[in-house]
Amino acid sequence: MAAFSGASAEGAGAGAGSPLRASAPGQLAGSPWGGGGQAGAARSRRELSTAVPRSRSCGGPVAAPRGSPGALGVAVSAVSPSAGRAGLPPCSFSALSLHLAVLLGHLRRLRLCGGVALAVLGSQASCLLDVAVVLGNLSLPPPRLRKSRRAWAGLEMGVMPEIAQAVEEMDWLLPTDIQAESIPLILGGGDVLMAAETGSGKTGAFSIPVIQIVYETLKDQQEGKKGKTTIKTGASVLNKWQMNPYDRGSAFAIGSDGLCCQSREVKEWHGCRATKGLTKGKHYYEVSCHDQGLCRVGWSSMQASLDLGTDKFGFGFGGTGKKSHNKQFDNYGEEFTMHDTIGCYLDIDKGHIKFSKNGKDLGLAFEIPSHIKNQALFPACVLKNAELKFNFGEEEFKFPPKDGFVALSKAPDSYVVKSQHTGNAQVAQTKFLPNAPKALIVEPSRELAEQTLNNVKQFKKYIENPKLRELLIIGGVAARDQLSVLDNGVDIVVGTPGRLDDLVSTGKVNLSQVRFLVLDEADGLLSQGYSDFINRIHNQIPQITSDGKRLQVIVCSATLHSFDVKKLSEKIMHFPTWVDLKGEDSVPDTVHHVVVPVNPKTDRLWERLGKNHIRTDEVHAKDNTRPGANSPEMWSEAIKILKGEYAVRAIKEHKMDQAIIFCRTKIDCDNLEQYFMQQGGGPDKKGHQFSCVCLHGDRKPHERKQNLERFKKGDVRFLICTDVAARGIDIHGVPYVINVTLPDEKQNYVHRIGRVGRAERMGLAISLVATEKEKVWYHVCSSRGKGCYNTRLKEDGGCTIWYNEMQLLSEIEEHLNCTISQVEPDIKVPVDEFDGKVTYGQKRAAGGGNYKGHVDILAPTVQELAALEKEAQTSFLHLGYLPNQLFRTF
């Protein structure tokens, strides 16, 4: 903790909501983007971290709310410094503050109404906006600054001018909310956990400050500057064989001798590794059980999780008589408990691991896989309400080993490797390594990784001397090409877990100099089972850089309220600031979403189609689904057929020229693509009414990339995809979304329909909801569905479940606190009373008859605002002349 507090002296920066962060003292806010180069940016960050007091709870800024009387009082004092000492009646000063507070409250309310009120105000708006800007309560510039909105992007964010220039070329004239809040915090040196909608500029929110600080770090190295750090090392601990206090779980205790270990946590496992490991020879150590708790002992590499035996880098033997490796628990040997002594044998030359109980050889337990044969293996254990004592050979063994095995403490120095975990001494290497990036950005899918890399390239466009080098590490690309780039040097790596894990575990990517770890779409990474990978990566990255700065962790998530995300942040982040601009899920005003009930009992179209219908997923291949069976299986099959017909009907009814179509499974995507091909469309029918492409995990990487590009360019009209494949991908201007099946997670419904209605463009989301239960695939088999035809239910050992969309719909409506409109099977969407007839994909028309009501509503407020302006000006003049009048009186 001491190291962290010393290394993070820069602080987490000031939040974007603070009126104090606008500029240097005595200046009005300039540009929200640019800065004064490297030195200016660094200075801005220092000012940000010291000008605003930090919250004890989350590290964020403590500032008066915008428009609050407290902030106004400070602002008015700045406008008229003599007001506080002039002996004025308290009522005059308080009245002015109150008038201004009310005035600005009205201004903010009017601003949210699309500028209609400001248009009504006419010339009076200029004066009011000037007052608001001086007080720091509006982010809009006054009219006199609007002549050059690009130039308006100056000092406020502390961003380098080179990056600001690139950003402005992308037509990002103003920072988005997530950028305005997060960029100063990251530049200030803090860990940030952010949540915002896809398309909100979240990638820029972490990419821009990461690029800037990586550049500044490289520039300092280029100029020979060295950071100051007074970090003590744990070398004395690492010089002897004992359990490592710097490589253990949070509830794992180690005695003063380094050999007695204990964990009294009864619900979770907590583990630890030794201070040294071995690369060669035949070695042995003993463990004595001091109570009846649960434990596993054995060997693990530095890459392994502390939960011994749950990944492919650790080998454990537990008290229940099970051996464990890569989450596979098999019967081995005997159970052991209090007073038993377990011997742990390691023959690295033969690649064998075995154990003994009270001197009894239990036989071969593991053969060391080839992927870790060249890695050092360390003594390790994991405990749950248990106590152990290790003996590495400094004391006489209770059961001495045979067959040439020697105590760990007697191992030759050439066989021994010290742990990388040295507590505060875990400092990055200063030596230049071409394959050691400064920033690592992890994405859940290759499409999102490619999208992020493209943004990085755009942001760093004008950065020179030194230039930043980036690399995309994803599957489906020849590894030799990536290794070639690594050999030439890389500063920023963007990748997906699979290929990253391969290159890190083989030492091809060196993490010893990483300054930033960014986890984008963290909830997606966790749902895909990459929790162990994240922990492994984090454990290998030094917590302190060579210049004394600490590792910064940035986590982006669709929601910060997920239990898994909260647990991850507690484990790998250091007092993170939470930036939650998403809050409770809601549907934007620009999105119309409706439900189409799919009722096979009232719509008998499925009976009349014969064989001219969409191919189904073969869940009912062994069932009687012919008309007249009147079984749940028959209704389920009918639903699958009707949904294909309804999807086609929706496209025709609304003359859709572009849409994203979400299916629940990959086979559903393939079947719908085939059905569109039967309609004359498909991937090769450019411009056809049913031209389409597929995006899911079973498609080859180059095909997925090509399909996404074709959809973005408009070569095909429809993108048929799964939730996982589409996560995080930003596609602008999509007017329609069709949910063939509701998602099983209510948050995903909001993510799906949020694909439309962006950039103030109207969008329509249509969900096809079955009124009866549908039997669907739910693969729990090892193949994850490949070649699986087990149509039994999950509870019977099969891979199917009954899917209740009506229940899911009620959960979604409860989550959104609204009732979603339903339309008839003809899918004719009624005209909205306020929006009138809209064209989906285009911006909502401003003005017109429907705005007349809004103007009438605003008229009294506008009149009150005009009166308040006059009263405020009168009060101000009264304050200015009253001191002279008082002086003459006396």
| H/E stretch holding 277 | strand 276-278
345-357: average pLDDT? 95
Over residues 168-188, mean pLDDT: 86
pLDDT at 878: 75
pLDDT digits (tens, 9 = 90+) for 201-258: 889 999 999 999 999 988 888 776 655 444 444 555 668 899 998 888 878 989 888 9
In the prediction, which pLDDT does 666 show?
A: 92
Average pLDDT of span 440-457: 92
Distance CA(740)–CA(760), nearest Å, equals 25
Three-state SS string across 464-533, please? CCCCCCEEEECCCCCHHHHHHHHHHCCCEEEECHHHHHHHHHCCCCCCCCCCEEEECCHHHHHHCCCHHH
Which pLDDT value is given to residue 303?
Answer: 86
User: From CA 624, how far away is CA 649, in angstroms rounded?
Assistant: 28
Distance between CA atoms of residues 431 and 387, nearest Å: 41
Domain boundaries, the chain: 238-421, 591-817
Three-class SS of 111-125 = HCCCCHHHHHHCCHH
Contact 86, 882 (CB under 8 A): yes
What average pLDDT does range 422-433 have in this prediction?
Answer: 58
Report how far residue 419's alpha carbon sits from residue 272's, in angstroms, rounded to the nearest whole number. Answer: 12
Distance CA 738, CA 823 (A): 14
Residue 440, SS3 per DSSP: strand
Residues 6+ positions from 524 with CB-CB distance below 8 Å: 444, 445, 558, 724, 727, 728
Give the pLDDT of residue 868. Answer: 87
406 has pLDDT over 70: yes
DSSP 3-state assignment of 89? coil
Which has the minimum average pLDDT: 508-522, 558-572, 846-860? 846-860
The predicted pLDDT at position 94 comes to 37
Give the count of beta carbons closer than 10 Å to the beta carbon of residue 269.
23
> Which residues are registered as beta bridge partners of 595?
767, 822
**What percentage of the chain reaches a pLDDT higher than 90?**
42
Band (442; pLDDT cuts 50, 70, 90):
very high
- pLDDT on residue 748: 84
Q: How many CB atoms sit inside 10 A of residue 320's CB?
A: 14
Task: Tell me the pLDDT tens digit for each residue of 677-690.
Answer: 999 999 998 889 99
Q: Report residue 364's pLDDT band, with 50, 70 and 90 as the boundaries.
A: very high
What is d(CA 705, CA 700) in angstroms, rounded to the nearest whole number? Answer: 9
What pLDDT band is residue 596 in, cutting at 50, 70 and 90?
Answer: very high
Highest mean pLDDT among 122-131, 200-209, 418-427, 751-760: 200-209
**Average pLDDT in the chain:** 78
pLDDT for position 528: 84
User: What pLDDT was estimated at residue 853?
Assistant: 61
Whether the pLDDT of residue 470 is over 50: the answer is yes
The mean pLDDT of 311-324, rounded to a whole number, is 94
**Does residue 867 carry a pLDDT above 80?**
yes
Q: How many CB atoms lie within 10 A of CB 279?
A: 15
Max Cα distance, the chain (Å): 109
Q: Angle formed by the axes of helices 90-111 and 69-79, to 10°?
A: 110
Place of tokens 């035949």: 282
Distance between CA atoms of residues 465 and 451, nearest Å: 25
Please answer whether residues 800 and 791 qualify as being in contact, where contact means their C-beta atoms are separated by less than 8 angstroms. Answer: yes
In DSSP terms, which residues pair with 285 in a beta bridge?
344
What order of strands is seen across the sheet that includes strand 314-318? Answer: 243-248, 270-274, 378-384, 294-300, 314-318, 322-325, 328-331
Distance, in Å, from the CA atom of 181 to the CA atom of 202, rounded to the nearest integer, reads 11
For 504-526, write each residue's pLDDT tens digit.
Answer: 988 899 998 899 999 998 988 98
What are the residues facing 407 on neighbouring strands? 284
3-class SS letters over 534-587:
HHHHHHHCCCECCCCCECEEEEEECCCCCHHHHHHHHHHCCCCEEEECCCCCCC
767 against 31, higher pLDDT: 767
Highest mean pLDDT (candidates 19-28, 122-131, 222-231): 222-231
Residue 186: predicted pLDDT: 92
784: number of Cβ within 10 Å: 10
CB 666 within 8 A of CB 779: no
| pLDDT of res. 429 | 52
Residues 6+ apart with CB under 8 A from 147: none
pLDDT for res 97: 40
Question: pLDDT value at position 99?
Answer: 44
Rounded to an integer, what distance in angstroms lies between the CA atom of residue 270 and that of residue 823?
A: 54
Q: What pLDDT shows up at residue 548? A: 73
**How high is the pLDDT of residue 158?**
79
Tell if the pTM clears 0.75, that is, is over it: no
Is pLDDT of 50 > 60? no
pLDDT of residue 57: 32
pLDDT digits (tens, 9 = 90+) for 79-119: 333 333 333 333 333 344 444 444 444 444 443 333 333 33
Q: In the predicted model, what is the mean pLDDT of residues 777-788?
A: 83
Contact 283, 378 (CB under 8 A): no
Query: In this structure, what token pair is assigned to residue 176?
Result: 């988005």
Instruction: Domain 238-421: give its CATH superfamily.
Output: SPRY domain (2.60.120.920)
Considering only CA atoms, give the Rg of the chain.
32
Domain 591-817 fold is: Rossmann fold (3.40.50)
What is the reported pLDDT for 48?
35
- Give Cβ neighbours of residue 866 (< 8 Å, ≥ 6 apart): 121, 124
Query: How far is it, in rounded angstroms, from Cα 521 to Cα 198?
Result: 10
The Cα–Cα gap between 330 and 321 comes to 8
pLDDT of 350 reads: 92
The better pLDDT of the pair 827, 884 is held by 827
Q: Quote the pLDDT of residue 49.
A: 35
Those residues with Cβ within 8 angstroms of residue 489's Cβ, 6 or more apart along the chain or in another chain: 434, 435, 469
pLDDT in tens, 796-842: 889 999 999 999 999 999 888 889 999 999 999 886 644 556 677 67
Is the pLDDT at 764 greater than 80, yes or no? yes
Structure tokens at 535: 């922990």
State the pLDDT at residue 864: 87
So what's the pLDDT on residue 242? Answer: 94
Residue 464: exposure state from Cβ atoms within 10 A (0-12, 13-18, ≥19) = exposed
pLDDT tens digits for range 653-672: 999 999 999 999 999 999 99
- CB burial string 551-565: b at 16+ within 10 A, e below: bbbbbbbbbbbbeeb
Cα separation, 756 vs 745, in Å, equals 19
Q: And the tokens for 423?
A: 């507590």
105-119, 309-323, 573-587 — which one is most confidently predicted on average?
Answer: 309-323
Give Cα 616 to chain centroid, integer Å: 35
Please answer whether residues 568 and 532 qualify as being in contact, where contact means their C-beta atoms are separated by less than 8 angstroms.
no
**Neighbour tally for 502: CB within 10 Å:** 15
Residue 491 pLDDT > 90: yes
Sequence-distant (6+) residues with CB within 8 A of 71 are 19, 63, 64, 65, 135, 136, 137
Query: Any idea which of 15-24, 378-387, 432-441, 566-575 has the lowest mean pLDDT?
Result: 15-24
pLDDT of residue 110: 42
Tokens 């601003």, residue? Answer: 111
